[in-house]
Amino acid sequence: MTKTILSPMSLLAELTHRCPLQCPYCSNPLALEPRRNELSTAEWISVLDQAAEMGVLQVHFSGGEPMSRPDLPELIRHAVGLGLYTNLITSGVLLNAKTFPALVEAGLDHVQLSFQDIDTANAELVGGMKGAQARKIEAARLVAADGMPLTLNFVIYRENAGRVPQMLEAAIQMGARRVEIAHTQYYGWGLANREALMPTAAQLEQTTQAVEAARKKYEGRLTIDYVTPDYYADRPKPCMGGWGRRFINISPSGRVLPCHAAETIPNVAFPDVRHDTLDHIWREAPLFTMFRGTDWMPQPCRSCDQREKDWGGCRCQALALAGDAAATDPVCSRAPDHERVKAVLDTLPAAPPPFRYRRYARATDEVG
Partner 1 sequence: MSADLTDDSVIRFARGVRLQHDRVRERWIIQAPERAFIPDPIAAEVLKLVDGTRTLGQIIADLATRFAAPVDVIGRDVHVMVNDLMTRQVLVV
Helix boundaries (H) for the chain: 41-54, 72-81, 100-106, 120-127, 132-146, 164-173, 188-192, 194-197, 201-217, 278-284, 286-289, 315-322, 338-346, 361-366
Could you say whether residue 45 binds partner 1 (CB under 8 A)? no
- Encoded amino acid at 189, one letter: W
Could you say whether residue 110 binds partner 1 (CB under 8 A)? yes
- Residue 154 CA to its chain's centroid (Å): 12
Among 30, 54, 182, 227, binds partner 1 (CB under 8 A): 54
How many whole angstroms separate alpha carbon 21 and alpha carbon 18? 9
Q: At what angle do helices 72-81 and 41-54 cross, to 10 degrees?
A: 20
Could you say whether residue 58 binds partner 1 (CB under 8 A)? yes
Could you say whether residue 57 binds partner 1 (CB under 8 A)? yes
User: Among residue numbers 69 through 88, which ones bind partner 1 (CB under 8 A)?
Assistant: 83, 85, 87
Could you say whether residue 7 binds partner 1 (CB under 8 A)? yes
**Does 19 carry a binding-site annotation?**
yes
**Does 26 carry a binding-site annotation?**
yes
Among 41, 99, 122, 223, binds partner 1 (CB under 8 A): 223
Among 77, 135, 158, 178, binds partner 1 (CB under 8 A): 178
Contacts of 58 by beta carbon, 8 Å cutoff, 6+ apart? 9, 10, 11, 84, 85, 86, 87
User: Among residue numbers 183 through 222, which ones bind partner 1 (CB under 8 A)?
Assistant: 219-221
DSSP class of residue 163?
G
Neighbours of 339 (CB within 10 A): 11
How many whole angstroms separate alpha carbon 181 and alpha carbon 163? 11
Helix (H, G, I), strand (E, B) or coil at 148: coil
- Closest listed residue to residue 100, CA positions, set 136, 73, 80: 73
Query: Is the Cβ of residue 148 or residue 172 nearer to partner 1 in the bound state?
Result: 148
Query: Is the Cβ of residue 10 or residue 68 nearer to partner 1 in the bound state?
Result: 10
For 168, 191, 287, 319, the CA distances from 198, given in Å and listed in that order, are 21, 10, 30, 19
Which residues partner with 256 through β-bridges?
A: 250
Could you say whether residue 109 binds partner 1 (CB under 8 A)? yes
Q: How far is the CB of 121 from partner 1 (least distance, A)?
A: 30
What does residue 19 show for φ and ψ, rounded to 5 degrees? -160, 140
Residues 118-157 vs partner 1: string with x where CB under 8 A?
-----------------------------xxx-x------
Q: Which stretch binds partner 1 (CB under 8 A): 106-114, 155-163, 237-245, 276-284?
A: 106-114
Among 5, 9, 80, 102, binds partner 1 (CB under 8 A): 9
**Does 301 carry a binding-site annotation?**
no
Could you say whether residue 368 binds partner 1 (CB under 8 A)? no
Could you say whether residue 4 binds partner 1 (CB under 8 A)? no
Could you say whether residue 107 binds partner 1 (CB under 8 A)? no
Binding residues for [4Fe-4S] cluster: 19, 23, 26
Contact positions vs partner 1 (CB under 8 A): 7, 9, 54-55, 57-58, 60, 83, 85, 87, 109-110, 112, 147-149, 151, 177-178, 219-221, 223, 225
